[in-house]
Amino acid sequence: MAGIGFELKKLFAKKGFFESMKAFGYATVICAGPMLLGVLLLLGIMFLCSVTNTPLQSRELLICMITYTLLASITVTSFFSMVVTRYTADMLYEENKQAVLPSFWGSTVIMMAIGSILYGIFLIFSGASPLQQLLCFIFFNELIIVWNAMSYLTAIKDYKGIFLSFLAAILVTFIIGGILLFFRFPVIEALLFAVTVGYGVMLIWYVILLQRYFPKSDLSAFTFLKWLDEFLPLALSGLFMNIGMLSHLVIMWFSEVGVRVHGLFFGAPYHDVPALLAFMSTLITTVNFVVSVEVNFYPKYRNHYSLYNDKGTIRDIMQAEKEMLGTLKTEIFYTALKQLLFTAVCIAAGGFLLDVLPLGFNEVMRGYFRTLCVAYGLYAIGNMLMLILLYFTDYKGALFATGVFAGGTIFFTLISLLFPSVYYGFGFLLASMIFVLVCAVRLDYFTKRLPYYILAVQPLVAEDRTGKFTRLGAFLEEKLDRRF
């Protein structure tokens, strides 16, 4: 992320409103492009279905198929995303760019293999038609590659290329979808095909950017698996974050407001649509974390840690630590304040916008929207604090916080089912509040003892953490060598 910070700092150094908007636009797409695309496409599909008077059952089945595919792909990649990011950062620090691209293909193959088996089994018994199954399966594997590519694209400075790929994906999707609907193709198959082609454009563009930036090599594609043994808490933190963010949606599918749409496809339209819109409110913190915290905090962070390596005096180290933590507190405060203000704006303006948009909102859905706006706002703040814990390599603290978040979301959401349906969403809200509290307490505890964690906790001798993932990588490489 530091690489992003340096480049954005150059963009924000340029004066003018349009230059600032350009920098914010780039940051938004880079940080949340594929997820933002998924949300926009779902909203766009709902709009197209409304305009074309698509039967409600077909509309809900289409939304379920896209939502299931998005959530399934995110869940599979969440276990690897933070580890491959760490691996990429280490390789770039060691000036070993040749090792990056092989790890991308190796991690992609493993995730596609695991995901294809699990999601493929689900699709076979889902009740979808063969063509729908095929489109969902292709869409799923595209998403695996796109999510994984985003973990590597943080090292690429071609912001314009990334931004254009995002716009091209949206444009292609709606053009193809509109054409197919105009010629009266079946709605579900037509829009599934359009979404698949749209993400396919983004996939191809991302892969071209990666191939252009990182050199090709014959190095092992599975060396990164050793990082899973060494940084397993990172992998579990990513998985727990995903569970905490999404599990309340799955539980709602089987609640009082849930419906069985078709076969194994369940949904809760009254809850899912408000959740989808409320999630958009987190973008302000996602972008601000990179634009503000990364750009302003990282130089102080780097200066502080460089003094330990460059034989800085105790006085210099203490002064640098004071400046770093002061900057961090300021950036956290203003980022959290912006999120809370933006959440308040979303709640205030949401009533008017929801009446204008043809999404069929009723009073219960408006209540869910308000509750989930607050919940996702707190989640965004907690996620920011957790990422800062990772910045300080407090992997155990991040693992504990994300574990509490995942467990709390499941537990409190299940408890909320015992109450009237108007209170649905409060389980996730409570879990998000606890998540923020745990992260804040842990970050305060850790930063007050920062010299101890930097100097005293590190191992005195090098540790060999070769484990089952390292052995798996060696096994896969051996099989690959025999085959070719």
Instruction: For the chain, give the secondary structure using H, E and C.
Output: CHHHHHHHHHHHHCCCHHHHHHHHHHHHHHHHHHHHHHHHHHHHHHHHHHHCCCCHHHHHHHHHHHHHHHHHHHHHHHHHHHHHHHHHHHHHHCCCHHHHHHHHHHHHHHHHHHHHHHHHHHHHCCCCCHHHHHHHHHHHHHHHHHHHHHHHHCCCCCHHHHHHHHHHHHHHHHHHHHHHHHCCCCHHHHHHHHHHHHHHHHHHHHHHHHHHHCCCCCCCCCCCHHHHHHCHHHHHHHHHHHHHHHHHHHHHHCCCCCEEEECCEEECHHHHHHHHHHHHHHHHHHHHHHHHHHHHHHHHHHHHHHHHHCCCCHHHHHHHHHHHHHHHHHHHHHHHHHHHHHHHHHHHHHHHHHHHCCCCCCHHHHHHHHHHHHHHHHHHHHHHHHHHHHHCCCHHHHHHHHHHHHHHHHHHHHHHCCCCHHHCCHHHHHHHHHHHHHHHHHHHHHHHCHHHHHHCCCCCCCCCCCCHHHHHHHHHHHHHHHHC
**469 in a domain, yes or no?**
no
85 burial (CB, 10 Å; 0-12 / 13-18 / 19+) is buried
Give the long-range contacts of residues 344-351, CB within 8 A, separation 24 or more.
346/278, 346/280, 346/281, 346/373, 347/373, 347/374, 350/277
**467 in a domain, yes or no?**
no
- Do 176 and 298 share a domain, yes or no? no
CB atoms within 10 A of CB 176: 18
The domain tally of the chain equals: 2
Range of the domain at 6: 1-221
- Do 22 and 164 share a domain, yes or no? yes
Instruction: Check: CB of residue 195 under 8 Å from CB of residue 162.
Output: no
- Do 138 and 280 share a domain, yes or no? no
407 Cβ contact list (under 8 Å, min separation 6)? none
Beta bridge partner(s), residue 266:
260
Residue 350, CA distances (Å) to 36, 425, 460, 474 in order: 19, 17, 56, 53
d(CA 97, CA 398): 28
**457 in a domain, yes or no?**
no
Each of the 484 residues of the chain gets a pLDDT tens digit; together they read 444 444 555 555 555 556 556 666 656 656 555 566 667 777 777 777 777 777 878 888 888 898 899 889 989 998 998 898 888 888 888 888 898 899 999 999 999 999 999 999 999 999 999 999 999 999 999 999 988 988 887 666 666 677 778 778 888 888 888 888 888 888 889 989 998 998 899 899 889 988 888 888 888 888 888 988 888 999 999 999 999 988 999 999 999 888 899 889 998 888 888 888 888 888 777 777 766 766 778 788 888 888 877 777 888 888 888 888 898 898 889 888 988 898 888 888 776 666 666 556 677 788 888 899 999 999 989 998 998 998 888 999 999 999 999 999 999 999 999 998 888 989 999 999 999 999 999 999 999 888 888 777 766 666 666 778 888 888 877 777 666 5
Q: Nearest 5°: phi and psi at 266?
A: -115, 160
Q: State the pLDDT at residue 428.
A: 95
Instruction: Check: CB of residue 48 under 8 Å from CB of residue 118.
Output: no
- Do 200 and 246 share a domain, yes or no? no
d(CA 246, CA 244): 6
**479 in a domain, yes or no?**
no
Q: State the pLDDT at residue 26.
A: 59
**164 in a domain, yes or no?**
yes
**283 in a domain, yes or no?**
yes
Tell which of 159, 187, 221 closes a domain.
221
- Do 193 and 249 share a domain, yes or no? no
Residues 420-459 as b or e (16 or more Cβ within 10 Å = b): ebebbbbbbbbbbbbbbebbbebbeebbeeeeeebeeeee
Tokens standing for 323? 């400046």
- Do 146 and 196 share a domain, yes or no? yes
d(CA 381, CA 332): 9
**61 in a domain, yes or no?**
yes
Question: What CA dihedral angle connects 197, 201, 202 and 207, to 10 degrees?
Answer: 130
Q: State the pLDDT at residue 120.
A: 95
Tell which of 221, 254, 276 closes a domain.
221
Tokens standing for 158? 């071609």
- Do 314 and 216 share a domain, yes or no? no
- Do 202 and 318 share a domain, yes or no? no
Instruction: Check: CB of residue 359 under 8 Å from CB of residue 269.
Output: no
- Do 188 and 274 share a domain, yes or no? no
Tell which of 169, 191, 221 closes a domain.
221
Select from 143, 203, 142, 198 the least CA-distant residue to 175.
Answer: 198
- Do 175 and 235 share a domain, yes or no? no
**462 in a domain, yes or no?**
no
- Do 37 and 110 share a domain, yes or no? yes
Tokens standing for 81? 């995303």
- Do 429 and 305 share a domain, yes or no? yes
Q: pTM, whole model, 2 decimals?
A: 0.87
Instruction: Check: CB of residue 191 under 8 Å from CB of residue 45.
Output: yes
Residue pointed to by tokens 């060396």: 223
